[in-house]
A and B are shown apart, each in its own frame.
Chain A
Amino acid sequence: MRVVVDYDLCESNAVCMGIAPEVFEVRDDDLLYVLQEHPDESFRERMELAVARCPKQAISIED
C-alpha cells in the first residue's frame, strides 16, 4: 500500500494527522509531511478513513 497526497489539493487541514499521526504530520510550517509512504497493512482501515475524511479529497491509496 502506498499513500499518495495531491499537494495541489492539500490544504493542511490535518484531519489525516488526527487519524494516523504515525503516517501524517502537519508541522508548524503548516505543511503536511507523509512520514511513511508505505505504511504497514495494519494501517489500512485508518488510511481508508483518512482518504474519506480529507475535506479536500487530496489523499489516495495505491496498491
Chain B
Amino acid sequence: MPEGVDNVIVVGASLAGVRAAETLRKDGHVGPLVVIGAEHHTPYDRPPLSKEVLTSTVEPDLSLRAVAAGLDVDLRLGLSATALRAEARELDLSDGTTLRFDGLVVATGCRARTLPGTEDIQRVLTLRTLDDARRLRRLLAEGARRVLVVGGGFIGLEVAASCRSLRCQVTLVEPLDQPLVRILGPEVGLAVADLHRSNGVDVRVGVGVAAVEALGDANAGVSVELTTGERVEADVVVVGIGVIPNTSWLEGSGLRVEDGVLCDETTLAAPGVVAAGDVARWPNPLFGETMRVEHWEHALDMASHAARRLMAGSAPGEPYAPVPWFWSDQYDRKIQFAGRSHPGDRTVVVDGTVGGDRFCVLYGDGERVTGVLGVNMAARVVRYRKAIAEGMAWGDLA
C-alpha cells in the first residue's frame, strides 16, 4: 500500500463492495477496512432473487462465498452514507458519525425505479432486494395467482418465467415494441416475447400503465388501467422498469454525478476515491464509450480493478477495458450477451435460427463486431467475447 492509503472505507456491501474489500485484503491492505451496508442482511447474492428464491420450496443459500470464508473487515450493516466531502476525505453516516479515510470505494449500487403513485400500494412491488423477493414469495405462497409484470426487461421476464413455473396466470406489459428491444433488437426481442407466449404468458407490447388502483385493503388485489384503456386485475403487480443509481448522498461531494459516479478510465473518481459496480460510469477504452453497466460479473471485476487502482495511489493506474457479460435464465433458455449493442446495429445470425432452441447473433456498427448474443450457446459466446476483446471486425467472420 502506498504511503497514506492505510485507512479504507467501502460504501456498499453488495457484490461490488464485498469484492473490493476482498481484493484489498488479498493484495495486502493491512490497515483498517470499514464496509458500510444500508441493508440489515449479511451481504448476499442477488441473481437468485428473481428465480430460485421465488420458485424453490426452501430459500436457497444466498451467502457470498467471500463473506462466508471470513472477510477481515469492520462490517457495519443497517447504516448508510449521507454525505461525502471528497477533498477533506470525510464521510458522514446515517448514525450521525463522521469517518475520515485515506481511500474510499463507492459501491452503493442502484435502487429499483417505481411506478409514480404506487409506492404505498402494498401489492405493487419492485424486485431488487432480499426483502422485496421475500415479500413477493410470501404473496405467491399465500395464493396470489394473477400476476401483472410491468416492464419487459430482464427482471420482469425472469419474474414472469418464475411465476409461470408456479402455475400463476401472468400478464406482462412492455411499452416498447418488444421486450429487450433496446439491447437485443426487434428480431430477437420478438423471439423472447414468443418464448414467453409459448410458455403461457400474456405478453402485450406497446402497452404501458395509465393508472393503478388498490381494490380495498392490503389483502385485496389491484386494478391496473393500461394505456390502451383496458383494465387488468391482479393479485400482485411486479414493476421492473429499470434502476436509478444511488448517488443522492454525493450531492456537493466534489464527485461528478451524471447518471452514476463519473470516473476516469482507471475507475478513479477523485484523488483517493474510486467507484465500482452499477453506480459507476466510466469511459471504456475498448469501445470508446462512456458506460454504466448493471451486470453481476461486472460488479465483481470492476470492484477488483477499483481496489487495485486505489492501492496504486498516485501512480497512473491501468485502464479498465472489459467486454461486459451477463446471463439470464428463462424457462429452458440460457440467454447470454457479451459486449455492447445499440439501436440500429448491424446484426448477423451466425448459428441457428432466431427463435429456435439455440442460436447466436452478432451485433456491431459498420466495421466492428461489438456484441454477441447466445441462446443456449454458452461456448460460442465465450469465443466471440474473446474475439470482441481483440477488436473483431465483420471482415474476420469466416
Residues of A that sit less than 8 Å from B by CB: 11-15, 17-18, 21, 25-28, 30, 51-53, 55, 57
Determine which of B45, B66, B301, B378 lies in contact with A14 in the assembled complex, contact meaning CB atoms within 8 Å.
Answer: B378
Given the interface pairs A11-B329, A55-B47, A55-B297, the reply to whether A18 lies near B382 with Cβ below 8 Å is yes
Give A52 to B386 CA distance when docked, in angstroms. Answer: 19
Task: Give the residue name and chain of the B residue nearest to A57 (CB).
Answer: B65
CB-based contact B385/A18 at 8 Å: yes
Further contacts, 6 of them, CB under 8 A, given A15-B297, A55-B296, A55-B297: A13-B378, A17-B378, A18-B386, A26-B378, A27-B379, A52-B19
> Chain A residues with Cβ under 8 A from B376's Cβ?
30
Given the interface pairs A13-B336, A53-B297, A55-B327, the reply to whether A30 lies near B378 with Cβ below 8 Å is yes
Residues of B that sit less than 8 Å from A by CB: 19, 45, 47, 65-66, 296-297, 300-301, 325, 327, 329, 334, 336, 376, 378-379, 381-382, 385-386
Interchain nearest-CB distance for B33 vs A (Å): 18
Interchain nearest-CB distance for B344 vs A (Å): 28
Main secondary structure of the interface of B (DSSP, over half): helix
In the A-B complex, the 7 residue pairs with the closest CB atoms: A14-B378, A18-B382, A26-B379, A14-B382, A17-B382, A26-B378, A14-B379
Number of A-B contacts (CB under 8 A): 44
> Chain A residues with Cβ under 8 A from B386's Cβ?
18
Interchain nearest-CB distance for B279 vs A (Å): 20
CB-based contact B381/A14 at 8 Å: yes
> Chain B residues with Cβ under 8 A from A13's Cβ?
327, 334, 336, 378
Give A26 to B329 CA distance when docked, in angstroms. Answer: 17
> Chain A residues with Cβ under 8 A from B301's Cβ?
53
Main secondary structure of the interface of A (DSSP, over half): loop
> Chain B residues with Cβ under 8 A from A55's Cβ?
47, 296-297, 327
Task: Give the residue name and chain of the A residue nearest to B23 (CB).
Answer: A52
- What are 27 pairs between A and B in contact, CB < 8 Å? A11-B334, A12-B334, A12-B378, A13-B327, A13-B334, A13-B336, A13-B378, A14-B378, A14-B381, A14-B382, A15-B297, A15-B325, A17-B382, A18-B382, A18-B385, A18-B386, A28-B379, A30-B376, A30-B378, A51-B65, A52-B65, A52-B66, A52-B300, A53-B300, A55-B297, A55-B327, A57-B45
> Chain A residues with Cβ under 8 A from B378's Cβ?
12-14, 17, 26, 30
Which of A13, A25, A57 counts the most B-chain CB atoms under 10 A from its CB? A13
Give A45 to B47 CA distance when docked, in angstroms. Answer: 25
Give A13 to B385 CA distance when docked, in angstroms. Answer: 13
> Chain A residues with Cβ under 8 A from B297's Cβ?
15, 53, 55
Interchain nearest-CB distance for A19 vs B (Å): 9
Interchain nearest-CB distance for B338 vs A (Å): 9
Give A11 to B328 CA distance when docked, in angstroms. Answer: 12
